[in-house]
Amino acid sequence: MTERHIHRGGLDARQMVKALGGRWTGRGGLCFCPAHPNRRTPALSVSVGKHRKAVFHCHVGCSCSQRTARQIGAENLPKPYIAKAIAESMERRAKAAGVEAARVLQELARIAFADIGQLFDAAGKLKPLNQINPHDRAAIRFLQITTRDLRDGTLERKVALQIWDKLSTLEKLARHLGLFSVHARKDEDATDPMQELLAQLQEHEQ
């Protein structure tokens, strides 16, 4: 595996080394290279390079192109010890940030089911933010209001508004709920997962 820079993902360099059965010492670590079946001698060096990117170098000399790197990653991510390390890392980060799964789902649901028509009054003008329901207000991705004095003494008000992608948000919720799986489509007796999610969000808010 030739030396390559790989952007940070779910794991940092130390956790990558641990997930691959190695040990971190000082500024770098040594672990088993997932590109070949050697499990007797650690051959993959991992360190932190510029912009906090992980740098890999295999001392066995196996080659690794961008295409094969994706294939190797796809083959190794499902492995139990790697999947476990990733899950543990994500859980630690979530706890450190004070993020709860229920809160994330709640925010996604607000964006997915927001009615952007509620952002405007009968004349089509944007309502003051304090008059917009928080559930609908969550749909706002970007808002910029500018005013300028005109020569006749009046003020010109311009509003730049961007809304979060509803379809993309609905897709995230659907994937989380397993709506795209064959099992979910065939199980007619199962509770409607979308209704179940809404019920959970309502309970969380009470």
Q: In 3D, which of 43, 25, 47, 24 has the Cα closest to residue 34?
A: 43
- CA 61, 63, 69, 75 torsion: positive or negative? negative
Q: Of 77-91, 161-175, 188-202, where does mean pLDDT reach its minimum?
A: 188-202
- Taking the C-alpha atoms of residue 127 and residue 121, their distance in angstroms, rounded to an integer, is 6
Residue pLDDT, tens place only, 132-165? 998 899 999 999 989 888 888 788 888 999 999 9
Q: Is the pTM of this model over 0.85?
A: no
Residue with more model confidence, 3 or 175: 175
- CA 97, 177, 87, 205 torsion: positive or negative? positive
Domain ranges of the chain: 4-97, 100-206
Residue 199: predicted pLDDT: 61
Between the alpha carbon of residue 39 and those of residues 31, 75, 104, the distances in Å are 9, 16, 39
